[in-house]
Structure 1
Amino acid sequence: MMNTPSWQDFEHIDSWIFDLDNTLYSSATNLFARVDKKMGEFISKLLDIDLVEAKKLQKRYFREHGTTLRGLMEVHGIDPTAYLEFVHDIDVSDLVSVPELGVALEKLPGKRIIFTNGSHFHAMNVSTQLGIDRHFHHIFDIAAADYLPKPHKPVYEKLIRDFDINPERAVLFEDMAVNLVPAHEMGMKTVWIPGNTDWSREGGDGDHIHYRTDDLSRWLTDLLNDRARQD
């Protein structure tokens, strides 16, 4: 695993794929906690149980099914649209834009894609607040994945089919280390942005991680600066 990027390792890349939550913005913002809270509220109302029990069930479904949504769909047959509209109806107005990230994204050659287990609305809401929405060509959300979450490999296979991606010319940026495993198996470069949670760090010591960084903006800027030095 390396921390300092070298353009020589990325000069062949023409598809730059980014997870959304805790990747395009820092996990230190704790924004996802707002979504997490609404998940518990949805389950509490749906099943008429208190919030403590709802939270336990939420976490169990996350562990056993990959996402809370997948568990609710498989066990309770819920409508995913209603769930996603509820849990992603959050205030993101305090998210601070990172101009350096926008500058770096715009300079990356090829396609730039958001690949998220969340909804298209959530991806647009967050990326617009961050001031980086215009730098992406596509969003591949949970609906596009037929509600099958990362790290299920068929989701990655559908992603590359839908956007005509050559995985050997692609890189995936993720905060969850386990979500980088299928990407690595398919031939993608991988960059891990670890958070401070167990589910972010699970599987973080494998050879499926090529690079690690705690600051995506700085890492991309360093990569592009190395490119400029080689030109």
Structure 2
Amino acid sequence: MTLPALEMSRIEGRDTWVFDLDNTLYPAECDLFAQIDQRMTDFVARFLGMDRAEARALQKQYYAEHGTTLKGLMTMHGMDPAEFLAHVHEIDLSPIPPLPSLCDAIAALPGRKIVYTNGSRGHAERVTKHMELHHHFHGMFGIEDAGFHPKPSQAAYDAFCDAHEIDPGRAVFFEDLERNLKPAHEMGFATVLVRSGKDWSHEPVEARPAGLNDAAHPHVDYLTDDLTGFIRQVLAFLSPLPAEE
């Protein structure tokens, strides 16, 4: 999706780049979240003694109502989060292809780069190492760092900004979930919604990642289905080529 240069004005003066992880930093078409999704269903079924159909329905209900299945299980059943996080993130990362162009684009962004995920910090570290991106980031912020408050809880964003001393007015927030950009935008972040062509119809409407047909919302400054291409446009805006004489 090509954006006119004049629309890049929301990016000007910003030097902190915040990236969601799953289905944002790597392409949704890798379908890693399908593995996580199935492992969550397995965990819920075992933890609550349900069959898989019941467990999956409850999993999706908690995801929609509490922001994450984890938060729902903690709130409604007093679950200790450590075993859940270890179980659901034990996945095969091989579907993520080499993405050298994305690595180069992120490396070229001026200032700090931080991963902020509703998953665990360990999951973020493992995925970014697999992608050979970890050395470009200045920090990782996981659900445990937010006291297990998930995006889009305001408490989560406040904890994130406090932990990394972030001024939202100087930061850009990349996400695949539209609802997670609303509080970020209200705080002053420039917001980028990363869309994909994946079919998300199996997810609750309230918590469905962005598809290619999703339109802009007032709290979404930019839409893109090409993260690398968008970052390259940002870099061109921040460092334009000199005019020919």
TM range (shorter): over 0.9
Q: What is the alpha-carbon distance in structure 1 between the residues aligned to residue 83 and residue 144 of structure 2?
A: 12
Question: Unaligned regions of 5+ residues in structure 2, if any?
Answer: none
- Structure 1 residue runs of 4 or more that deviate by more than 6 Å after TM superposition: none
Identity fraction in percent: 40
8 Å CA contact retained: 2:32, 2:95: no
Task: Find out whether 1:200 has 2:209 as its counterpart.
Answer: yes
Question: Unaligned regions of 5+ residues in structure 1, if any?
Answer: none
Q: What is the alpha-carbon distance in structure 1 between the residues aligned to residue 144 and residue 9 of structure 2?
A: 35
CA-atom RMSD in angstroms: 1.9
Letter in 2 for 1:200: P
Q: What is the alpha-carbon distance in structure 2 between the residues aligned to residue 18 and residue 12 of structure 1?
A: 18
After TM superposition, give the deviation of residue 132 of structure 1 in Å: 0.8
- The residue number in structure 2 matching 1:65 is 66
Letter in 2 for 1:54: A
Letter in 2 for 1:95: I
Structure 1 residues 44-53 or 111-120, which shifts more?
44-53
Taking CA–CA contacts closer than 8 Å with sequence separation of 6 or more, which of the two structures ends up with the larger relative contact order?
1
Matches within 5 A, 1:20-169: 20-169=21-170
After TM superposition, give the deviation of residue 84 of structure 1 in Å: 0.1
- The residue number in structure 1 matching 2:230 is 219
TM-score (norm 2): 0.89
Number of matched residues? 231
Q: What is the alpha-carbon distance in structure 2 between the residues aligned to residue 127 and residue 142 of structure 1?
A: 16
Q: What is the alpha-carbon distance in structure 2 between the residues aligned to residue 179 and residue 4 of structure 1?
A: 25
Q: What is the alpha-carbon distance in structure 1 between the residues aligned to residue 156 and residue 69 of structure 2?
A: 17
Q: What is the alpha-carbon distance in structure 2 between the residues aligned to residue 112 and residue 93 of structure 1?
A: 24
SS in 1 for 2:145: coil
After TM superposition, give the deviation of residue 63 of structure 1 in Å: 1.0
8 Å CA contact retained: 1:4, 1:219: no
Q: What is the alpha-carbon distance in structure 2 between the residues aligned to residue 4 and residue 210 of structure 1?
A: 13
Q: What is the alpha-carbon distance in structure 1 between the residues aligned to residue 8 and residue 151 of structure 2?
A: 28
